Amino acid sequence: MRKTFIFSMLIAALLLNFSCNNNADNSKLKAPKDFLWGVASAAYQVEGAYQADGKGESKWDFFANKMGVTQFMIGVKQTGNIAINQYDRKQYLQDIKLMKELGVNTYRFSISWPRILPQGTGEVNEKGIAHYKLLIQDLKDAGIEPMITLYHYDMPQVLVEKGGWNNRESVEWYKNYATVVFNNFGKEVRHFITFNEPYIEFFLVDFMLNPMQSKESANVRYSKEILSVHHELLASAEAIKIYHNMNLGGMIGITFNLSPCLPMDSANTADVKAVPLQDELLNRIVLDPVFKGKYPENALAAIQKYNPSFKPSVADMQFIASNKPDFLGVNFYAPAQVKADVNAPLGVTWMGNNTDSVKMNTGPFMPDQLYNLLMRIKTEYNNPVTIITENGACFNNHEDTIVNGKINDTLRSDYITRHIDAALKAQKDGVNLKGYCVWSGWDNFEWVAGYTIRMGLCYVDYKTQKRTPKQSYYTYQEILKQQKQ
């Protein structure tokens, strides 16, 4: 029971769901010529080669191989040891070809920290540097701009053992890592992202996975572990400062998982009342410090009730707010369905069951919520440059099967079409939107769900590594063709 509950919580945390129709015909809306159209991935989910060329162990190498996280969650041990083999140049050149034919001009991927600093700090692994240099060059030769995430959940395990993101020293470790990245790749790359989804990393790993054996209550653990988010925001601000001082001429942003909060049951007063607090805990907890220099009041009070020592200093808050990102990366999958729940941390949960008739395993299918989210960012956060750094879907894989050599993922195709429409409508209505990336270019290792969840535009046969473009690939290709006309 507990296992099933945790598993569904974790999957929902990663994916989130949607419903609702966006009937407006926005198909004629055009993005500006310099709009970034891309696909996204992350090192641990695609690279494989987990011990190649001097790479150190990452937090996820440890989780998958030694803790057996997927064994516990899906009953079978799966790892990113091979993943979709993208560390291999022969393989990634084929993937670049697929991207080129697709028509994207951007590839968002992440650098594996332990690949270039196997011990987290100290000696640089030149083979790791050489790999990414070549990948960047190969992408640019194909006319595809690299957009690099510095950190996508995979801290070197040696640093995790020193306390990870809960240790304030992590800010210094990350500064050192970021400097190595900018020194080596800063001249070639126009878009960097400091962190991917600090909240989800905290929730999934620090709160739910790491301390499974802990005897402390969920309220106490939640309120203690949230410090990791504060440290990631500080580390991000430090990296932004370093990057700006280097005058490299590109842009640096940060990516958040953002989900409009809706009451699970709008007739239930307790659910309705829970919405503002959940919004603070899920969205404003990261947006407000970065754009307003303070944590949202009710979330702070709820956290301090169980952890009175969570008191970020004025100096920290000023530092975060005075080193703002050049752009905000938005990962949007679905709105959060909020329930008041005395058993959930701080009395609220954002993962109610998906009641939508379209069975996305991420939640209700609601493109208009992407529109609302973008408009809210414009109004409440002073219209920052915004890039949708992830948007995608999976539907229990029932449409991800090859039939006569084809994959007719019509629901995913529809999802992408409607979300692009919603995004371009928001742009027409004044949102400073500069890019959109689909998660993901290829099916890949989906954290606690391993290979049981497919979210790619290309189907991957994990035994042979063969890629087969799905219908959604051709749908996105057609949208991009129309955009270029």
* Nearest CB to ligand NOJ, comparing residues 196 and 337: 196
> Encoding tokens for residue 357?
């008739």
Given 47, 279, 390, 400, the residue binding ligand NOJ (CB under 6 A): 390
H runs (alpha helix) in 161-212: 170-185, 198-200
- Footprint (CB under 6 A) of ligand NOJ, residues 31-70: 42, 45
- 47 or 271: CB nearest ligand NOJ: 47
12 vs 426 by CB, closer to ligand NOJ: 12
CB nearer to ligand NOJ: pick between 40 and 242:
40
Which residue has the CB atom at the shortest distance from ligand NOJ? Answer: 14
With respect to ligand NOJ, which residue has the nearer C-beta, 105 or 196? 196
- 197, 254 contact by CB (below 8 A): no
Shortest Cβ distance from residue 134 to ligand NOJ (Å)?
Answer: 24
Cross-strand partners of 439: 40
Is the Cβ of residue 331 or residue 475 nearer to ligand NOJ in the bound state? 331
Nearer CB in complex with ligand NOJ: 15/426: 15
For residues 319-348, which are near ligand NOJ according to CB under 6 A? 331
**Please, what is the minimum distance in Å from the beta carbon of residue 205 to ligand NOJ?**
12
157 near 59, Cβ under 8 Å?
yes
Residue 364 CB partners (closer than 8 Å, separation 6+): 17, 18, 19, 20, 334, 335, 337, 354, 355, 356, 358
Query: Closest approach of Cβ 482 to ligand NOJ, in Å?
Result: 27
The strand pair at 466-469 and 458-461 is best described as antiparallel
Catalytic-labelled residue, pool 145, 390, 399, 446: 390
Q: Are 411 and 396 in contact (CB under 8 A)?
A: no
- The least distance separating ligand NOJ from the CB of residue 14, rounded to whole angstroms, comes to 4
Closest CB to ligand NOJ among residues 151, 371? 151
Residue 59, class by beta-carbon neighbours within 10 Å (0-12 exposed, 13-18 middle, 19+ buried)? buried
* CA proximity to 167, closest of 244, 225, 87, 213: 225
Q: Establish if 112 lies at the interface with ligand NOJ (CB under 6 A).
A: no
Does residue 14 belong to the site contacting ligand NOJ (CB under 6 A)? yes
Of 109, 256, 350, 439, the residue at the interface with ligand NOJ (CB under 6 A) is 439
185 contributes a contact to ligand NOJ by CB under 6 A: no
Q: Which residue's CB is nearer to ligand NOJ, number 331 or number 427?
A: 331
400 part of the interface to ligand NOJ, by CB under 6 A: no
Shortest CB 113 distance to ligand NOJ, Å: 15
- Angle formed by the axes of helices 227-245 and 314-322, nearest 10°: 50
Residues 233-272 that bind ligand NOJ (CB under 6 A): none
Q: Is it true that the peptide bond before 440 is cis, omega within 30 degrees of 0?
A: yes
User: What DSSP letter does each residue of 269-330 carry, written as one string?
Assistant: HHHHHHHHHHHIIIIIHHHHHHHHSS--HHHHHHHHHH-TT----HHHHHHHHHS--SEEEE
Among 47, 197, 271, 409, binds ligand NOJ (CB under 6 A): 197
First-to-final CA distance of the chain: 54
Strands (E), 158-242: 191-196
Q: Smallest distance, Å, CB 198 to ligand NOJ?
A: 11
- For the bound state, the minimum distance from the C-beta of residue 331 to ligand NOJ, rounded and expressed in Å, comes to 5
Report the relative pairing of strands 36-40 and 458-461 from DSSP bridges: unpaired
Kindly state the number of chain residues that form the binding site for ligand NOJ, as judged by CB under 6 A. Answer: 11
Say which residues have a Cβ less than 8 Å from residue 414's Cβ, sequence separation at least 6.
none
380 CB neighbour count, 10 Å cutoff:
13
Is 197 tagged catalytic?
yes
Q: Find the binder of ligand NOJ among 22, 106, 196, 210 (CB under 6 A).
A: 196
Gap between the Cα atoms of 455 and 75, Å rounded: 21
- Find the shortest distance in angstroms from Cβ 197 to ligand NOJ: 5
**421: nearest Cα among 471, 475, 473:** 475
Nearest-angstrom CA–CA distance, 409 and 470: 7
Closest of 391, 395, 455 to residue 424, by C-alpha: 391
Residue type, 369: Q
For position 15 contacting ligand NOJ by CB under 6 A, the verdict is: yes
Q: What residue ranges in 197-326 does DSSP mark as E strands?
A: 251-257, 261-263
What is the smallest separation between the CB atom of 42 and ligand NOJ, expressed in angstroms?
5
Select the residue interacting with ligand NOJ from 37, 132, 446, 470 (CB under 6 A): 446
Amino acid at site 194: T
**Catalytic hit among 197, 201, 225, 399:** 197
Binding site for ligand NOJ (CB under 6 A): 14-15, 42, 45, 196-197, 331, 390, 439, 446, 455
Catalytic residues: 197, 390
